[in-house]
């Protein structure tokens, strides 16, 4: 079901992981951001758009995680964009033998049979420094940053003031960091991403995170940014964060605490090598 969050901006949410697909209305059709995960849900989205007389004229994936680069034939053959790094990662993955099995391993097993992979990751990389989505619709600003994963980007739908945050600023998940290695510091990278998002808060009237609840107001964006910074500070200090997202007793979501536990262990190992 499509829900309007601002003038010309709709959201379709998946049930399992509360992925938010964003639909932006343009002159001749719509831009679909992060199309969804399950075949049945994406088919529902395609049908809803068809009934509204809204053809898909462009797509965008905010980053190269498996649940953000899927597509459904019912959405058509419009160009699908990502950052240069995001599209390159998808091309490299698809070039490997047995890539479908690798992708399936990352999925919750209960949905693996309902996730179509034939159009997985078929993205056109936008040139580095591209400032806006190339389409005939409202200006959609691209905010590329290093947080969470290489090639990640948030989008700001100018005019309606909707920030499409990708896998950041969630009310369900704490900051999910990129892998720790000898060449990067995912905590610092995440802080850079948060600063870039904070820089546009004056232009934001509504937030749509990749997972979770869509909320309104720049004040809520700032509150989420501060909560994420507090989480990262605690992680670096070796403290247990005072964060409601990792202590949630919400049925079926207890596993979220494991995200923090794994990151805390990875950070401690990384720091011991530094």
Q: In what order do the strands lie in the sheet with 206-208?
A: 140-145, 152-157, 162-164, 206-208, 215-216
Terminal-to-terminal C-alpha distance of the chain: 48
For residue 274, is pLDDT > 80?
no
Average pLDDT, the chain: 94
Model confidence pLDDT, tens digit, residues 159-200: 899 999 999 999 999 999 998 887 889 999 999 999 999 999
Residue reference for tokens 């979220």: 256
Which range has the worst mean pLDDT, 31-35, 148-152, 214-218?
Answer: 214-218
- State the Cα–Cα distance between residues 177 and 168, nearest whole angstrom: 10
pLDDT at 32: 98
Model confidence pLDDT, tens digit, residues 14-46: 888 899 999 999 999 999 999 999 999 999 999
pLDDT at 181: 83
- State the Cα–Cα distance between residues 270 and 266, nearest whole angstrom: 6
Residue with more model confidence, 249 or 173 = 173
For residue 255, is pLDDT > 90?
no
pLDDT at 214: 75
> Domains of the chain, with CATH numbers?
2-168+193-220 (3.60.15.10)
Residues 228 and 174 sit within 8 Å (Cβ to Cβ): yes
Residues 70 and 37 sit within 8 Å (Cβ to Cβ): yes
Mean pLDDT of 251-269: 88
- State the Cα–Cα distance between residues 62 and 87, nearest whole angstrom: 10
Task: Give DSSP secondary structure letters for the chain.
Answer: -EEEEETTEEEEE-SSS-BEEEEEE-SSSEEEES--S-HHHHHHHHHHHHHTT--EEEEE-SSSSGGGS---GGG-S--EEEEHHHHHHHHHHHTSTTHHHHHHHTS-GGGGGG---TTTT--EEEPTT--B--SSSS-EEEEEE-SSSTTEEEEEETTTTEEE-SSSS-SSS---PPPP-SS--HHHHHHHHHHHHHTTGGG-SEEE-SBS--EESHHHHHHHHHHHHHHHHHHHHTPPP--TTTS---TT-TTHHHHHHHHHHHHHHHHHH-
Cα three-residue angle 82-227-209, rounded to 5 degrees: 30
């Amino acid at each position: 079901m499509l829900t309007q969050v601002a003038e010309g901006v709709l959201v379709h949410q998946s049930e399992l992981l509360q992925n938010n697909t964003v639909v932006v209305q343009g002159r001749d059709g719509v831009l679909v951001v992060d199309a969804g995960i399950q075949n049945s849900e994406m088919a529902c989205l395609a049908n809803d758009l068809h009934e509204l007389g809204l053809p898909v004229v462009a797509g965008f994936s905010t980053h190269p995680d498996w649940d953000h680069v899927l597509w459904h034939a019912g959405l058509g053959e419009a160009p699908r964009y990502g950052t240069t790094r995001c599209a390159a990662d998808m091309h490299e993955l698809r070039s490997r033998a047995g890539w479908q099995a690798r992708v399936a391993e990352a999925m919750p097993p209960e949905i693996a049979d309902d996730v179509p992979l034939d159009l997985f990751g078929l993205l056109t990389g936008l040139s580095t420094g591209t400032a806006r989505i190339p389409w005939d619709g409202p200006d959609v600003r691209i905010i590329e940053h290093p947080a969470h994963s290489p090639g990640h980007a948030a989008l700001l739908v100018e005019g309606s003031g909707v920030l499409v945050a990708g896998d950041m600023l969630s009310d369900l998940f704490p900051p999910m960091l990129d892998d720790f290695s000898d060449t990067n510091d995912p905590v610092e990278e995440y802080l850079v991403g948060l600063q870039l998002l904070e820089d546009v808060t004056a232009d934001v009237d509504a937030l749509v995170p990749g997972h979770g609840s869509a909320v309104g107001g720049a004040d809520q964006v700032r509150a989420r940014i501060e909560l994420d910074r507090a989480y990262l500070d605690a992680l670096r200090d070796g403290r247990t964060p005072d964060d409601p997202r990792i202590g949630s007793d919400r049925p079926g979501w207890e596993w979220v605490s494991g995200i923090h536990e794994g990151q805390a262990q990875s950070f401690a190992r990384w720091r011991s090598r530094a």
